Amino acid sequence: MEAGTPDLVKLEDLRVPGQLSGRKHILAILVENKPGVLARVAGLFSRRGFNIDTLAVGPTDDPSVSRITLTLDGAVHPIDQVTKQLHKLVNVLKIRDMEPEETVAREMALFKVSAAVENRAEIIQFADIFRAKIVDVARRTMTIEVTGSADKIEAFERMIRPHGLVEMVRTGEIAIARGHE
C-alpha cells in the first residue's frame, strides 16, 4: 500500500464535500496596504454575487499590511469558493476563516436616543446592564457606546428602540483568535 493512500478506490465510495456550512463566517483577510486593494476585494464580492454582511478595515502591527474583517452567511455562499476567489487577488496575503469556538469577536455601536429628563434613569439603567457607556448627553438626546458581539448589540437595540432611536452606527465585527493554553 502506498503511504497515505487507500489501497482500493471504489468509485461508489467517492464523495464531494458539502459546500454550504449553514452558519455565519468571519473572514480575517490580510492584504497589502496599497491603493485600490479594498476596491478589488469589494468588486470581487459584488461581481461574484457574494453578499458581505459587515466589513471592517484597519491597519495592523505591520504598516505594509491591512486587515479586512468581513462576515458573510455560509448558508447562502460556499465559503470555500469565496476564499479561493479572494486568494486569486494578488494583493491578498492570507485569509483566515475564524473558528467560532476559538475566536473573540467584537463590534462597537453608537446609539443616539431621544432622552427626555423623565426617561434618563431608565436609559442609564439599560446602559449599565449592557456595560455600555454614555458618551454624550444633550438637552434632548443621549449617545451610548456599546461594545460586544453582534447579538449583544442587537439586543441593546431592541431594548432602546421604544425610547426613540434617533440614529445608530455600527462598525462591523472585528475578530481575533483566542490564545492557546
Partner 1 sequence: MRAADALMESLKAEGVKNAFGIPGGANLPMYDAVVDADFRHVQTRHEQAAGHAAEGYARAGGNVGVAFSTSGPGATNLITAIADAMLDSTPTVFITGQVKSELIGTDGFQEADILGATLPFVKHSFQVTDARQIPDYVHEAFHVASTGRPGPVLLDVPSDFFRADIEYEPRTEPVELPGYKPSTEGNIKQIRIAAKALANARRPIFYTGGGVINGNASEELRELAASDQFPVTSTLMGLGAFPASSDHFLGMLGMHGTFTANMAMDRADLIVAIGARFDDRITGKLDEFAPHAKIIHIDIDPAEISKNVGAHIPIVGDVKQVLPKLTREYRALQTDSGRMEAWWSQLRTWKQEHPLYYEPSTDGEIKPQSMVETLHKVTNGEAIVTSDVGQHQMWAAQYYGFEQPRRWINSGGLGTMGFGLPAAIGAKVACPDELVTCISGDGSLIMNVQELATCVTEKVPVKVFLMNNGYMGMVRQWQQLFWDRRYSGVELGASPDWVKLAEAFGATGLRVEDEADLEDTMRKAVETDGPVLVDIRVTQEENVYPMIAPGNAAREMVEAPGLVR
Task: Determine the 3-state secondary structure of 113 from DSSP.
Answer: strand
Size of the site for partner 1 (CB under 8 A): 33
> Interface with partner 1 includes 85 (CB under 8 A)?
yes
**Of the two residues 2 and 151, which places its CB atom closer to partner 1 in the complex?**
2
Interface segment toward partner 1; rule CB under 8 A; list 88-96, 97-105, 107-115, 169-177: 88-96
> Interface with partner 1 includes 2 (CB under 8 A)?
yes
Kindly tell me the burial class for residue 173, based on how many C-beta atoms sit within 10 Å of its own C-beta (0-12, 13-18, 19 or more). buried
- CA 37/CA 39 separation, integer angstroms: 5
> Interface with partner 1 includes 117 (CB under 8 A)?
no
> Interface with partner 1 includes 139 (CB under 8 A)?
no
- Please give the residue ranges that form the binding site for partner 1 (CB under 8 A): 2, 4-6, 8-11, 14-17, 19, 31-32, 35-36, 39-40, 43, 47, 78, 80-81, 84-85, 87-93
